[in-house]
Amino acid sequence: MTRAQWAILIWLERQPGISQKELSEILEVEPITVARLIDRLEARGMVERRPDPRDRRIWRLHLLPPARDVLLEIDDHRADMTRIVTEGIDENSIEIMTEALMRMKATLTQEAHTSRRGPDPIVTETREAV
């Protein structure tokens, strides 16, 4: 099982019934990438696509019981990795680093969204005027 498949299982546990499109936005990948990963997870009996009751074009994603064992394994790996990488670092420092990393990720995500849309015309006009 790939790390990308793990990420999908984790998000489906957090948000049961999320659509493929919503999941692709969260994971910051193309919808076709999520569709292919879901195909593989569905073939393994871990995920199920269900039609949205209000819009038949939308597929809602749900975990199936076999995914639970994998999620427990993922939790164990995450706990082990957290213990290893934070060994010898006090709780306060871990909190500060975590907050800083989350801010950096948010900034990068925002930058990626801005880059996809193209330059902000207001900012561009302001820069050109200077």
Between 120 and 90, the higher pLDDT residue: 90
CA nearest to 94, candidates 82, 106, 108 = 82
**What distance in Å separates the CA atoms of residue 120 and residue 24, rounded to the nearest whole number?**
24
- Give me the pLDDT at residue 112, please: 77
- Give me the pLDDT at residue 113, please: 73
Q: Mean pLDDT, to the nearest integer, of 109-125?
A: 61
Q: If pLDDT is split at 50, 70 and 90, which confidence band does 73 have? A: very high
Task: Supply the pTM of this predicted model.
Answer: 0.70
**What distance in Å separates the CA atoms of residue 90 and residue 100, rounded to the nearest whole number?**
16
Average pLDDT, the chain: 88
Q: If pLDDT is split at 50, 70 and 90, which confidence band does 93 have? A: very high
Q: If pLDDT is split at 50, 70 and 90, which confidence band does 127 have? A: very low
- Give me the pLDDT at residue 117, please: 56
What confidence tens digit (pLDDT) does each residue in 40-51 have?
999 999 999 999
CA nearest to 61, candidates 43, 35, 30 = 35
What confidence tens digit (pLDDT) does each residue in 24-42 have?
999 989 999 999 999 999 9
